[in-house]
A and B are shown apart, each in its own frame.
Chain A
Amino acid sequence: MKVFMSGNEAIARGAYECGVTFASGYPGTPSTEVIEEFSKYDGVYAEWSPNEKVAMEVGIGAALAGARALVVMKHVGVNVAADPLFTVSYTGTNGGLVIMTADDPSMHSSQNEQDNRNYARFAKIPMLEPSDSQEAKDYIGLAFDISEAFDTPVFLRTTTRVSHSKSIVKLGEPAPREDRTEIRYNPDKYVMVPAKARARRVEVEKRMIRLKEYAETFSENRIEMNDPDTGIITAGMTYNYAKDIYPDYSYLKLGMVYPLPAELIKEFASKVKKLFVIEELDPFLEEQIRSLGIEVTGKIIFPYTNEFDPGIIEAAMAGSSSESRQFSLPPIPARPPNLCPGCPHRGLFYVLGKFDCFVTGDIGCYTLSFMKPLEGLDSCVCMGASIGMAHGMSKALKEKGKGRVVAVIGDSTFIHSGITSLLNLAYNKSHAVVIICDNRTTAMTGMQEHPATGYTLQGDIAAQLDLVELGKTLGIRNVHVVDPFDMKTTRKIIKEELSTEGPSLIISQGPCVLLKKERKRKKKPLMIDTEKCTGCKLCLGLGCPPIAWKRFEDMKDITIPKKRKNQEGIAVIDTALCNGCNLCLQLCKAGAIMEVSGNE
């Protein structure tokens, strides 16, 4: 049967087909759907772990017990998981262990553009890279076979374009499930104290030699001989971009990007006149190929940054900028993503934006509030960074920082990597104020459960973390809960805590409007009374999508009375988009905002 699938759906399917029964991960674009889709298959266990390091350790445990375990994360997640990663390379596994890393060239939804192929070389772990959904499904099975044959973890690397584009996949029969788990003791292999680790270290090098030999005959490293004038070495999605433009050139398509098949590369190089290496991001293949003494053209013509497309490759090969048609267009206003209408973050960040504070931010929807008009957040580095940064800033600023440093962090992000930093605030006596933007879900990646929602990925009722009690247990004396839709009280509590000695924790509790329960809630949309609006623009300061500014001169058919001498227009609300959160109503001094009456 043929199915149209994304790369991520295909990886989940491939894992199911090859007998994987165990998967762990933390949500992160573009990797999230793998765990979500896998969790729906019969007879599997899948979990959202609190962060990638935990997910990796969970996977290692499952593999040591003999299960085939899949661990899934986005590229920066591997940074979080790097500690166990480098040592599981020494211990090896029992059941297969495959780590999927989803890289994000162009940073469509990431804070950096790191090339995780470097982790393969760094941690001495083989890496496969599929180029479309069919390969994504096939390679996951191959990765588990290699893992078990060579007693090594294996990386499966995708990029956003492979994970999220869809293509046709031929489904296979799932392998029969057999339980190969049991407790196996082997301290020489699993107790990595120096004496044992030194012995395993040697085994890792031996394994690399065997893997290099295997790469020479690995079926997915293949030469496609065509026109011998031009040869292209490539892997992953760039193979498709190149084939789209140059179907008649010769190719060495690498399914395994680490370790490389040196002899196969030499053979291909000897068959073609001019050799190109086409790869996004780092010259990872190029540098290794050059070290074999082979002359290639690579990053001298191809960009280091951003994802490619067929046009970029064509322009680089032709040695000129792309010859697309030139149009004379008016300025096109940008359309950045925005907080949703009715978002609980909007009220909080409107309030925060008015304080003379440095607000250290974190990763989540609320990061969007750095933009105009809210301008409620001043930094964003990585998951969990806000609390540690606020503490460091407050300590360094001493008296100057008192009452002027605030950290904001989402509930899922706080659980991911904010808890230890909050403990540090209490332990090292900070003056910073920490605000957890608790919207009861992992919203940015599409509504995943986490330890404070009370449910697991597979729908079981779970122990529910109490953020207030946790804060107190960690040693924070001042803990408050606020409703961000009540801006007056929110402002008052933040103000009080900024002037209080010692660290404070404020939990801003408002459920995400995209949660199923919230979507079903009956909305009472608002409207603006054009007769009363004075055109003061206060409500526009919320940056709420349904509220728009209409200038009198653009409303030729309608006459609206001016309430002020210099009034230039009025605000209007698109009631179809309004969620009735009432924030604008709290701001309006003219009393011009009201509920749409029932019969409209």
Chain B
Amino acid sequence: MSNSNGVRSILMVGVGGQGIIRASDILSAVLMKSGFDVKKSEVHGMAQRGGCVSSHVRYGKKVYSPLTRKGDVDVMLSFEKLETLRYLDYMRSSGVIIINEEEIYPPSVNLGEAPYPHNIEEIIRKYFNDIHFLNATKLALKEGDRRIANTIMLGALSPYLDIELDTWEDVFRTDFPPNVAEKNFSVFKMVRNQFSENKNLIMQ
């Protein structure tokens, strides 16, 4: 994959309250620790109140803009199925899309005034080859804590970044209290291993 300035862009999207900002902070810390210049920016109105959230993380030798232009995102980490569609035009055609299968209904769907599109996977497959689904929310509930879903998403992303497992571990251990760090890192490793098979690294 190429980018004119050698800068990579990761876009995390979803709904306020899903832990996207926390996840993008962890990712940024990992990238910074690996020696990259990093910039990060969220686009949200009042995120805590159920609106859309998107977080741009950009890294490379020297990063200027914290926002990615449309068509330039290398990996999209989508925390909610429908939100994937909202940001498709940010993806480069060869980009990777990782999607959490959770569906969170917008107010108009809850009120029965608009349908929640049911063929999201089919639509995305028309335009992109490298797409992957997982149910991070279900897996997190199975692990006993809904809040761990964002760590699971990072685990699915990590095989696409050439970053040492130790660096991830360091960041988990500095960013969380000890027992929470342990749990998060072990779940992270498990998902990372699952996703490591048959994946091409995007960052050499």
Contacts and interface: CB of A to CB of B under 8 A. Distances in A.
Interface of A: 2, 4, 108-109, 132, 161, 164-168, 239-241, 243-245, 247, 309-311, 314, 322-325, 327, 329-340, 365, 368, 371-373, 444, 446, 514, 537, 540, 543, 545, 547-549, 551, 569, 576
Interface in B27-66: 28-29, 32, 37-52, 63-66
Given A168-B38, A340-B49, A247 B65 contact: no
Interface of B: 5, 7, 15-16, 25, 28-29, 32, 37-52, 63-71, 82-83, 85-86, 88-89, 93, 105-112, 114, 116-117, 119, 123, 127, 146
Q: Which among A167, A247, A446, A551 has the highest number of chain B CB atoms within 10 Å?
A: A167
A337 B16 contact: yes
Contacts of B106: 333-336
B16 A167 contact: no
B164 to A, nearest CB: 19
Contacts of B5: 244, 247
B37 A310 contact: no
Interface SS of B by simple majority? mixed
B48 A514 contact: yes
Contact of B44 (A108, A365, A548): A108
Contacts of A335: 15, 50-52, 83, 106-107
Given A333-B108, A335-B50, 4 more contacts: A132-B66, A240-B64, A310-B67, A330-B117
A545 B116 CA distance: 15
Q: Which among B16, B25, B28, B69 has the highest number of chain A CB atoms within 10 Å?
A: B69
3 tightest A-B CB contacts, nearest first: A311-B69, A165-B41, A549-B112
Contacts of B110: 540, 545, 547-549
Q: Which among B44, B47, B86, B111 has the highest number of chain A CB atoms within 10 Å?
A: B111
A171 B71 CA distance: 35
12 contacts: A166-B41, A167-B39, A243-B64, A244-B64, A309-B67, A314-B69, A333-B108, A333-B116, A335-B50, A340-B49, A540-B112, A545-B110
Nearest to B39: A167
Given A327-B127, A335-B52, A309 B105 contact: no
A338 B107 contact: yes
Contacts of B112: 537, 540, 549, 551, 569
A575 B71 CA distance: 39
A91 B44 CA distance: 40
A336 B7 CA distance: 32
Contact of A164 (B7, B29, B42, B116): B42
Contact of A161 (B28, B66, B70, B89): B66
B41 A164 contact: yes
B107 A168 contact: no
A528 to B, nearest CB: 13
A161 B65 CA distance: 10
A375 B106 CA distance: 17
Contacts of B107: 335-336, 338, 371-372, 543, 545
Contacts of A329: 85, 88, 123
Contacts of B85: 329-330, 332
A13 B119 CA distance: 49
B179 to A, nearest CB: 20
Given A329-B123, A336-B107, A165 B117 contact: no
Nearest to B89: A324
A161 B69 contact: no
B16 A165 contact: no
A329 B85 CA distance: 8
Nearest to B15: A335
A325 B32 contact: no
Contacts of A549: 110-112
Q: Which among B49, B69, B88, B110 has the highest number of chain A CB atoms within 10 Å?
A: B110
A476 B57 CA distance: 53
B139 to A, nearest CB: 15
A545 B105 CA distance: 9
Contacts of A514: 48
A446 B111 CA distance: 28
Q: Which among A108, A335, A338, A373 has the highest number of chain B CB atoms within 10 Å?
A: A335
Given A240-B65, A337-B45, A540-B110, A332 B82 contact: yes
B111 A330 contact: no
A548 B105 CA distance: 8
A365 to B, nearest CB: 7
A166 B29 CA distance: 11
Contacts of A569: 112
Contacts of A324: 70-71, 89
Contacts of A247: 5, 64
A37 to B, nearest CB: 15
B71 A325 contact: yes
A372 B111 contact: yes
A365 B49 CA distance: 9
Given A4-B29, A161-B41, A240 B49 contact: no
